[in-house]
Copies of this chain bind each other. A is one copy, B any other.
Amino acid sequence: MEIKIMKNILDRNQHKAEEVRNLLSSKKLLMVNIISSPGAGKTTLLERTCEVLGPDIRIGVIEGDITTDRDAQRLKKYNIPIVVINTEGGCHLDSHSIFKVLESFDLEKLDVLFVENVGNLICPSQFDLGENFKIAIVSTAEGDDKPGKYPMLFREAEAVVLNKIDLIPYTNFNLTNFRSDLKMINGQVPLFEVSCTKGDGLAGWFDWLNNRIKGIILTREVSQVKNL
């Protein structure tokens, strides 16, 4: 019975996610769903991304949090539009809540909308929000065995950010093991090995993300030319 109920919930979520996707696609706007365990570095990656890409790219953020607006407070200094969704105990965001808050944004004035999901390596990967793609973040402090132990997200993600590489010397994290564990789950996925606090390795992430955003902007410009 519970499996059937879960299927119904996921079906309804999927249906609404397609609505979100169609809306964002009509606005030629990229939506990125950022997923990780608590404290792996989602907000810090967003801070660095706002600092480096913010001057050229128009960024908006949806902050998923159980009960506080602490992450949103950290991003306020970038003067970007931010909406907080408090799940009140819920372990993931869903497409219905995303659809509802989209009306709070002036979508014509954005190039990319980041969704910082609730800190959870499991449930958020099962709920399509209508995003263009998911990003998985994992911290070296969590250990090198996470892709094999929590395979769903690593299979679904279009890029993986391994954060806190500056802590490797102080832990028993084995980078070779992590890479091969990830390769077993998703052999093709781009991996960015970074330290969001120290800045190491972030250039590759910015390039990759920038290319994805520029791709969307290009389709918007092409469609504007067609409409002239």
Contacts and interface: CB of A to CB of B under 8 A. Distances in A.
Contacts of A123: 91, 120, 122-123
A118 B166 CA distance: 27
Interface size class of A (residues with CB under 8 A): 35 or more
A66 B150 CA distance: 7
Contacts of A89: 122, 126, 152
When all copies of this chain in the complex are counted, the total is: 2
A149 interface: yes
A211 interface: no
A120 B91 contact: yes
7 contacts: A5-B5, A37-B119, A40-B142, A70-B145, A119-B149, A120-B123, A141-B142
Given A37-B142, A67-B151, A141-B142, 8 more contacts: A5-B5, A37-B38, A39-B141, A65-B149, A66-B122, A122-B123, A141-B141, A167-B167
